[in-house]
Structure 1
Amino acid sequence: MPLAQHRALAAAFAANGRNHPYLALTLNSLCNLDCVFCKPRCMPDYGHKDRPLTADDYAAIATEAGAWQVRKAHCSGGEPTLRADILDVIAGLAAGLGPDAAIGMTSHGNLRRGLTVEKLADAGLTYLNLSLHSLDPTRSAAIMGGGDPRVTRRTLDAALALGLRVKINCVLQRSYVADAFAVAELARELPVAVRLVELQNIGPAQALFDTEFIPEAEVRDRLHEWFAGAGEVPRDELGVRSPGRYLRPEGWAGSIGFISNSSCATCSDANRIKITPTGVARPCILHNRDIPLKPHLAEGTLADAFAHLFRSMLDRDANDAWQGFHYVDYDLRWDRMERPEGVPVPLPLLPTVTKAPSRARTAGGDR
């Protein structure tokens, strides 16, 4: 696309008051654990029937994204570390987005043999989100279908020793709420951000939701002694770009935040360009403007694809659901969903942009 149109579209996005977007890359659907609220092996597309993107594909996407001033890429799965080429993927993203980019990953921390946090950091990883739902090995295995929280803790310690930022994702369940509080208390001594994640009424978690859901408001009430007098942590300190609040109890080394997609999520500041394992980009979960990236990779037209993505994110301002509450997030591990492909956007037309109002949460938060 012409450079002038590129600049005009990027400027229009910058003027709307929302955070600049980042790449949210779901690298695979495979996982060697089986969390009760996830259960990947029960899904019909488990293992992928289609060919996923390659490390070279991710490097090309990151290079184009860098031209649009994107400076962050986050990798998730499945369990992304099961990819044999994970180090090449991380290196390609880091090279494409540039030396100041944030490159992160969500993992359960039980790394496969031969893969270490040191190797991931050497490849370009700058922060690590660890899934940890109980510190007790038996109870953790009941939640996660395997794994060992003691191994996850060693991964955490290795990441902190290397200077990586670390966040912990802990899903709240009523039967295991004491376990979640024990995980949260790791932030008392460690410089980590623990995010307490509300259960969502989607996928396998639907079978648990009625009995296991516990809302943020109730958790805050039960932890009121921690939060009394707690100071708010600036998001740039945590490397978090969403408007969610992170609180540091007095005297603690780390912080506690919430991802509350069920009780109080809105999408007013959502800024993720979500890309499925086979390369379907989804700029908005509620606005079907999906676009397959593989044809653009093959034809060298990724600039046109990113123009579509930026325009689609601007179109959120006119989306009826944009300022409302919603209770659905699409699972990006699987590509076979009944969602129409996006219609190409006429590039010469730029929307009238107004500054977005402030909201308390993003759709999907910052994983």
Structure 2
Amino acid sequence: METAPLIDPFQRAISYLRVSVTDRCDFRCVYCMSENMTFLPKKELLSLEELDRMCSTFIRLGVEKLRITGGEPLVRRDIMTFLRSMSRHLERGALKELTVSTNGSQLARFADDLYAAGVRRINVSLDTLDEDKFARVTRWGRLPQVMKGIDAALAAGLRVKINTVALKGFNEDELFTLVEWCASRDIDLTFIEVMPMGDLGGEDRIGQYWSLKDLRVELSKQFTLTELSHRTGGPARYVRLEETGQQIGFITPLSHNFCESCNRVRLTCTGELFMCLGQEDNADLRTALRANPDSDAVLEDAIRAAIRLKPKGHDFDYSRQEANGQVSRHMSHTGG
């Protein structure tokens, strides 16, 4: 079998795979999914064994960073079995990092197990420190449960990064509260512009959009921001706040397109490979996987063919006061 690395048409090496292990979640965040979601039949989802085979094939083809997402990945039954299995690739050095993105609801239960499986870094979605607003934005979530989970993660030795979606009229007034709370816990913080994805039952994406350019202006009123060249393999750009020493990230798909250095692809829980978060083009890898249970050759060919179709960039654009470039699937389907 070919073992040449995965190189896209723009000479970018694909070394980062984000894998959604479930479309289900115990929250219903307003920018991510509708309150009354219809989830996929279980037979359409890749089994844990199939996820293992799929991820192992990508690792054999040069993927060095694996991020497990959802939905909420920790609500997938027996997910720790899969994560423990992936740790073999860490032990032999083929996989450099195994990370998890979570809403934090299950961390009190799983933090120690995650560390034991080789996870050293997690991303926790948290848009507000106000209990009532948290219940409103997540619809079903409870802030104390998440805070308990973050405490458990820190106690287990996990490095925690908070991802906060910047929402106009919702968490603008908490900018400094969030920054100072993270500084006090030695937690990294990244702000994300809201992305135009999925039918959210009347949610106003343009009304929600808070440009991170504007957020940075606000931040600079209280702190000295120093640009950093540091990268983690993702789309964030970082600054250091000189007064606290902490690192703040900005993910700006709308006000600054980050596609030129994109090294990642996204695998859904049904085996679709999305070569770009902001495009509808995808490749069906589940058929190749299931049609050939005794060989990965056809799967490898299907992966290579998909990477050859990776576009140069996405088309998200709010500049004309309409959500141009909007894609129809929910963020929970693709895995962020």
* Bin for the TM-score computed over the shorter chain: 0.7 to 0.9
Name the residue aligned to 1:202.
197
The CA deviation at 1:34 is: 1.6
The CA deviation at 1:107 is: 1.2
Question: Per the alignment, do residues 52 and 312 of structure 1 end up closer, same or farther by CA in structure 2, a change over 3 Å counting?
Answer: closer
The CA deviation at 1:25 is: 0.8
Residues 170-199 of structure 1: per-residue CA shift (max 9 Å, x gap): 111112212344223333223322111111
Tell me if 1:230 matches 2:223.
no
Name the residue aligned to 1:341.
none
Tell me if 1:155 matches 2:149.
yes
Question: Per the alignment, do residues 67 and 256 of structure 1 end up closer, same or farther by CA in structure 2, a change over 3 Å counting?
Answer: same
* Alignment map for 1:1-367 (pairs within 5 Å): 1=1, 3=2, 6-7=3-4, 10=5, 13=7, 18-43=12-37, 45-48=38-41, 50-96=43-89, 98-100=91-93, 101-111=96-106, 115-176=109-170, 177-203=172-198, 204=200, 207-232=203-228, 234-235=230-231, 240-285=232-277, 286=279, 288-299=281-292, 300-316=294-310, 319=311, 322=313, 327-328=325-326, 330-331=329-330, 333-334=332-333
The amino acid of 1:302's aligned partner reads D
C-alpha distance in 1, partners of 2:91/2:265?
A: 18
Structure 1: where are the runs of 5+ without partners? 336-363
1:13 match: secondary structure: coil
2:99 match: secondary structure: strand
The CA deviation at 1:135 is: 0.8
C-alpha distance in 2, partners of 1:311/1:134?
A: 42
C-alpha distance in 2, partners of 1:332/1:36?
A: 11
The amino acid of 1:267's aligned partner reads C
Contact 2:23/2:71 (8 A) holds in 1: yes
Question: Per the alignment, do residues 99 and 175 of structure 1 end up closer, same or farther by CA in structure 2, a change over 3 Å counting?
Answer: farther
Question: Per the alignment, do residues 35 and 20 of structure 1 end up closer, same or farther by CA in structure 2, a change over 3 Å counting?
Answer: same
Contact 2:266/2:274 (8 A) holds in 1: yes
Q: How many residues align?
A: 322
The amino acid of 1:288's aligned partner reads D
Question: Per the alignment, do residues 322 and 147 of structure 1 end up closer, same or farther by CA in structure 2, a change over 3 Å counting?
Answer: closer
The amino acid of 1:143's aligned partner reads V
C-alpha distance in 1, partners of 2:131/2:287?
A: 42
The CA deviation at 1:323 is: 8.1
Question: Per the alignment, do residues 283 and 201 of structure 1 end up closer, same or farther by CA in structure 2, a change over 3 Å counting?
Answer: closer
C-alpha distance in 1, partners of 2:225/2:245?
A: 15
The CA deviation at 1:47 is: 4.5
Question: Per the alignment, do residues 92 and 146 of structure 1 end up closer, same or farther by CA in structure 2, a change over 3 Å counting?
Answer: same
The amino acid of 2:99's aligned partner reads G
C-alpha distance in 2, partners of 1:126/1:90?
A: 12
The amino acid of 1:68's aligned partner reads L
C-alpha distance in 2, partners of 1:205/1:261?
A: 23
C-alpha distance in 1, partners of 2:201/2:188?
A: 24
Name the residue aligned to 2:322.
none
Contact 2:196/2:316 (8 A) holds in 1: no
Name the residue aligned to 1:359.
none
1:69 match: secondary structure: coil
The CA deviation at 1:139 is: 1.4
Residues 241-296 of structure 1: per-residue CA shift (max 9 Å, x gap): 03531112014253211122232224222222211112122233537351223432
Question: Percentage identity across aligned positions?
Answer: 23
Give the TM-score taking structure 2 as reference length. 0.83
Contact 1:58/1:93 (8 A) holds in 2: no
The amino acid of 2:117's aligned partner reads A
